[in-house]
C-alpha cells in the first residue's frame, strides 16, 4: 500500500483532513488536548476537592451526624466541583470544538480554492503517485486527452495520454525521482481517439508536508496552434524563397541579356571606332594614289620630289593605320597574366626613367613620393604597361596647360590591396567625359592618341583581380588609383575593394587629398 492510500486520499471529495499527513489540518498545526488528559484532570480535581472536604469536617465538625456529614460533603463538593469541572473540562472542550470547527471550515475553503484553481487552469494537469497511478486530473486535461475524469482515476499514467517518453529514462516520473526538481520538454502526446497533440510537458515533485516525495504533478500545454502557425510561416517562407528564386532567375536572365546587349553595343562601338580610324588613314592613301594614277594616265612626267611627297604621305598614313591595328590587337588579346614575384619599386623607377628627359624639357617634375610595398606578385610586363599608359596620360594632361606641373606617384599597402596612385596637376577630365574614358577609341588627344590606353590598362588590372579608381577636378588635378590584390605564390585573390567612386573608374568631382 502506498503513502497516498495510507492517508485515505480520495480525489473529488470535499475532505477537511489534509491528504499530506494523517489528522492534520490544511491551515493549522495546533496540538489539541486528548480525552485522556481531560479525564485525568477531572479525577485529580475531584480527588483533591473530596480530600479537602473530609479534612475540613474532621477538624471543625468532629461530632456531626453521619447523615449531615454526607449531606454537607455532597453540597460542598458540588459547589467546589462545578467551577473545577467547568474550567478544567467543559470550557477547554467548548474552545476545542470551536477551534476544530473553524479549522475544518478553513481547510474546506482552502481545498475548494485550490480545487478551483486546479480545475480552471488553462493547461491540462494531472497528479501521479510513485507507482504511476493517476490520482487526479483537471477538466482541461480531460478535454485534452479525450477521456472522462472518473475513468482516468486509478489508471496508469502511460495508459492515458501516452507519448514517446513513456517506459524510457526520459519519463517525467523517472527524472523527478532521480533527483531533478523540474522537468520540461516538448512531446507529441496521443489522445484516446489516436489524434496526435503537440505539448510542452512540465513536471514537478509532489511532496507531503514533511518533504517526502510521493509523486509528481504534470502540466500539459497544448501548442497545436503554435505548431500550425510555425508550419504556416515555414510554408510561406518556402513560397517566398521560391518566388525570390524565380525572380532571381528572371533577373539573372535579364542581366545576361543586358550584358549580351551591352557587349553587342560595345562591339558595335568598337567596330565603328576602328572603321572610322582606319578610314581616316586610308583617305590620304587613296587620295595620293589617285593623284599618281592621274599623272601616269595623262602621260605626265613624275618628278622624284612629287613621287617622294606622295610616298611619304602614304607611308605615314600606313604607319598610323598599323599603330591602330596593333593597339586593337593588344586590346582584344586579353592575355592571361603570368604571375611572378618582382620588386615593384625598381620596376616603377625603370618606367619613370623613360619619361625623365621629356618631363625635364617640359618643366614637369616626375617624382616617386613613397613606396612602402617592395615585392608584389603580378605580371611585371602588364603592370609596367599600365604604368606607362597612366604616366603618359598625366604627361599629356600637363602639356596642355603649357606651364609645367608635377606627376607624383606613390605606393601604399591598404589591406588586402596594394594601391598605386598617379596624380598630375594637369587640366583635369571634364565631367561629361568621365564616364567614357575607359571606352575603346575614346580620346581627346586626336590625332596624337588612339584612345585604347586606358581601356587596355583597365582590362589588365581587372584580369589581376583589381580595379581602377579616379578623381578629377577641372583645371587642377587628376588622380588615378590602381588597386592590385596582395597575392602570393598560392594565387590567393581577395575580393574587390569597396570602391566609393565605383563602376568603370568611379566618377567624382571631389578634390584629391593626396599631398604633393
Task: Considering only residues 450 and 22, tell me which one the structure prediction assigns the higher pLDDT.
Answer: 450
What's 405's domain CATH number? 3.30.565.10
Same domain, 280 and 353: no
| Burial annotation 31-48 (CB, 10 A radius, 16+ → b, else e) | eeeeeeebeebbeebeee
What's 274's domain CATH number? 1.10.287
Sorting pLDDT into bands at 50, 70 and 90, what band is 17?
very low
Same domain, 170 and 113: no
pLDDT of 450 over the 80 cut: no
Pairing of strands 124-129, 213-222: antiparallel
Identify the bridge partners of residue 187 per DSSP, sorted by sequence position.
199
Domain total in the chain: 4
Same domain, 420 and 440: yes
pLDDT, tens only, 79-103: 877 777 777 777 877 887 888 888 8
Pairing of strands 405-414, 417-424: antiparallel
Dihedral sign, Cα of residue 139, residue 141, residue 144, residue 149: negative
Q: Which cell numbers hold the place of 391?
A: 604616366
Same domain, 314 and 327: yes
Mean pLDDT value across residues 245-268 = 75
Sorting pLDDT into bands at 50, 70 and 90, what band is 75?
confident
Return the pLDDT at 513.
Answer: 34
Which of 331, 347, 371 is the endpoint of a domain?
A: 331
Q: Which cell numbers hold the place of 364?
A: 614637369
Same domain, 113 and 153: no
Same domain, 391 and 310: no
Displacement of CA 355 from its chain's centroid (Å): 55
Cβ 289 vs Cβ 282: under 8 Å: no
**CB neighbours of 442 closer than 8 A, spacing ≥ 6?**
433, 436, 451
Pairing of strands 124-129, 134-137: antiparallel
Which of 104, 119, 134 is the endpoint of a domain?
A: 119
What whole-number distance in Å separates Cα of residue 383 and Cα of residue 342?
Answer: 11
pLDDT of 502 over the 60 cut: no
What whole-number distance in Å separates Cα of residue 435 and Cα of residue 430?
Answer: 10
In a domain, 492, yes or no: no
Same domain, 108 and 133: no
Same domain, 351 and 239: no
Same domain, 341 and 355: yes
Give the domain range for residue 72. 3-119
Mean pLDDT value across residues 492-510 = 38
pLDDT, tens only, 102-125: 888 888 888 888 888 888 899 999
Same domain, 21 and 69: yes
Return the pLDDT at 302.
Answer: 77
Task: Considering only residues 309 and 445, tell me which one the structure prediction assigns the higher pLDDT.
Answer: 309
Same domain, 206 and 292: no
Same domain, 410 and 460: yes
Poorest-confidence range of 136-150, 332-346, 477-491, 497-511? 497-511
SS3 28: coil
Mean pLDDT value across residues 387-412 = 90
Return the pLDDT at 333.
Answer: 57
- Looking at mean pLDDT, say which of 323-332, 415-424, 442-451 comes out highest: 415-424
What whole-number distance in Å separates Cα of residue 153 and Cα of residue 142?
Answer: 11
% helix, strand, coil for the chain, step of 5: 50, 20, 30
Please give the order of strands across the beta sheet that includes 364-371.
364-371, 405-414, 417-424, 477-485, 467-473
What's 144's domain CATH number? 3.30.450.20
Which of 308, 331, 354 is the endpoint of a domain?
A: 331
Amino acid at each position: 500500500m502506498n503513502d497516498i492510500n495510507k492517508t485515505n486520499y480520495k480525489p473529488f471529495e470535499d475532505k477537511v483532513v489534509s491528504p499530506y499527513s494523517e489528522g492534520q489540518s490544511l491551515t493549522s498545526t495546533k496540538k489539541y488536548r486528548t480525552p485522556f488528559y481531560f479525564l485525568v484532570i477531572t479525577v485529580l480535581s475531584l480527588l483533591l476537592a473530596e480530600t479537602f472536604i473530609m479534612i475540613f469536617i474532621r477538624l471543625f465538625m468532629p461530632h456531626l451526624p453521619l447523615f449531615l456529614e454526607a449531606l454537607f460533603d455532597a453540597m460542598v463538593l458540588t459547589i467546589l466541583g462545578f467551577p473545577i469541572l467547568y474550567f478544567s473540562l467543559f470550557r477547554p472542550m467548548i474552545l476545542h470544538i470551536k477551534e476544530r470547527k473553524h479549522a475544518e471550515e478553513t481547510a474546506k475553503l482552502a481545498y475548494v480554492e485550490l480545487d478551483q484553481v486546479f480545475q480552471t487552469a488553462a493547461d491540462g494537469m494531472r497528479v501521479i503517485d510513485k507507482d504511476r497511478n493517476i490520482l487526479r486530473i483537471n477538466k482541461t486535461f480531460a478535454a485534452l486527452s479525450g477521456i472522462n475524469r472518473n475513468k482516468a482515476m486509478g489508471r496508469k499514467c502511460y495508459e492515458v495520454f501516452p507519448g514517446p517518453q513513456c517506459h524510457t529514462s526520459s519519463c517525467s516520473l523517472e527524472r523527478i525521482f532521480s533527483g531533478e526538481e523540474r522537468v520540461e520538454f516538448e512531446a507529441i502526446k496521443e489522445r484516446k481517439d489516436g489524434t496526435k497533440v503537440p505539448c510542452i510537458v512540465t513536471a514537478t515533485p509532489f511532496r507531503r508536508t514533511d518533504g517526502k516525495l510521493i509523486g509528481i504533478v504534470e502540466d500539459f500545454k497544448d501548442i497545436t496552434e503554435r505548431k500550425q502557425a510555425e508550419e504556416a510561416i515555414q510554408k510561406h517562407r518556402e513560397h517566398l524563397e521560391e518566388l525570390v528564386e524565380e525572380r532571381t532567375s528572371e533577373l539573372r536572365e535579364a542581366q545576361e541579356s543586358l550584358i549580351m546587349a551591352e557587349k553587342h553595343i560595345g562591339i558595335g562601338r568598337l567596330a565603328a571606332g576602328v572603321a572610322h580610324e582606319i578610314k581616316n588613314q586610308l583617305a590620304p592613301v587613296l587620295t595620293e594614289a589617285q593623284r599618281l594614277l592621274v599623272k601616269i594616265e595623262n602621260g605626265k612626267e613624275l618628278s622624284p620630289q612629287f613621287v617622294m611627297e606622295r610616298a611619304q604621305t602614304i607611308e605615314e598614313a600606313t604607319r598610323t593605320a598599323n599603330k591602330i591595328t596593333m593597339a586593337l590587337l593588344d586590346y582584344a588579346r586579353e592575355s592571361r597574366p603570368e604571375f611572378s614575384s618582382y620588386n615593384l619599386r625598381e620596376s616603377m623607377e625603370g618606367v619613370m626613367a623613360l619619361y625623365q628627359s621629356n618631363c625635364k624639357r617640359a618643366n614637369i617634375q616626375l617624382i616617386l613620393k613613397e613606396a612602402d610595398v617592395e615585392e608584389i606578385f603580378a605580371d611585371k610586363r602588364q603592370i609596367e604597361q599600365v604604368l606607362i599608359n597612366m604616366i603618359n596620360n598625366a604627361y599629356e594632361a600637363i602639356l596642355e596647360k603649357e606651364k609645367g606641373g608635377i606627376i607624383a606617384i606613390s605606393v601604399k599597402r591598404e589591406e588586402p590591396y596594394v594601391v598605386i596612385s598617379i596624380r598630375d596637376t594637369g587640366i583635369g577630365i571634364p565631367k561629361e567625359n568621365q564616364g567614357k574614358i575607359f571606352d575603346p577609341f575614346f580620346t581627346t588627344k586626336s590625332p596624337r592618341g588612339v584612345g585604347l590606353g586606358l581601356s587596355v590598362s583597365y582590362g589588365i588590372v581587372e584580369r589581376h583581380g583589381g580595379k581602377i579608381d579616379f578623381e578629377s577636378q577641372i583645371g587642377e588635378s587628376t588622380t588615378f588609383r590602381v588597386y592590385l590584390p596582395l597575392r602570393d605564390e598560392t594565387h590567393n585573390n581577395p575580393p574587390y575593394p569597396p570602391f566609393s567612386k565605383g563602376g568603370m573608374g568611379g566618377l567624382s568631382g571631389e578634390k584629391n587629398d593626396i599631398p604633393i
